[in-house]
Structure 1
C-alpha cells in the first residue's frame, strides 16, 4: 500500500475512533489503516478510545498492533491510554488494556506524572482500583497514595 493511501486511512480511522464507530474502525483496520500514529496534535487513536471508554475499539486497535503504553501528547489529551481509562473509571477499557499488556505501574508524562492507579484512586473508581491492583499496580511505590486520605 502506498504511503498516501495509508495516511488517508489513518485520518479516517482517527475520525471513526473519535465518533465511537467500532464497525468502521474494524473496516479501516482491515483495509490497512495503521492503528499507532498520532494525529497532527500528538493524540493517538488508542488514547481517544480509552478516554472515551470505547472498550471494543480499544480491543480492535490493540489487536491491530497499537502499543498499549504509547503516550499521547495532544493538547488536553496527554498521557497513557491506561491512565486515560482509569481516570474516568472505564473498567472495560482498563481490562482490555491490561489484558493486552499495558503496564499498570507506568506513570504518564514520561514517568513523572500520575499512574493509572493514582487516577483511579482520585476518581474514586473502586472497580478500576481493584482491576489495577489485581494486575500488579503497586500502592507502595505510588506517589498518589496521598489521594487515599481524601474525605
Structure 2
C-alpha cells in the first residue's frame, strides 16, 4: 500500500457496476487503494478477515435482498466499531424506510446509484469521520420529502 492511502473493499453483486466503481476509485479518488472486491456476502466476510479496510463501499441490495446490506452494515459495526467506515451504495431511490434502517445499522453515509454517483468529496467526508454523508440525488429526495412533510403539517394546523 502506498503511504497515505486508505484501503477500500467494494461489495457489489452486479459485475459491470463493480468494475465501474472500481475504476472510479482508481482514476478519481487517488487517496484510495482498492484492496479487494466481493460480489457476495460470503466473499466479503472472507476478504475482510484477510485484509481489514479503512472503508467498505457496500451495495445495499446485495443479492437482490436489501436486508442483507443492512445486516452486513450492522455486523461491521459490531465487529470493527468505528475502525471501518461504511458507505452505502444503492439504487433504492424511493425506499426511505430502508435509508433509515441502514443509518440505524451504523452506515456513515448513503450514495445513490444515480446522478453524480460516487465523488471524491463524499468519500473524503466519510474518511474524515463525518456522519450522514449523502450525494446530491439523495439530498434532493430528502429535501423533497421534508417539504411535503412541512406542507402536510401546516395543513393540519
Task: Report the TM range for the smaller structure's normalisation.
Answer: 0.3 to 0.5
Query: What is the TM-score normalised by the length of structure 1?
Result: 0.39
TM-score by length of 2: 0.38
Q: Counting strand residues as a fraction of each chain, which structure ranks higher?
A: 2
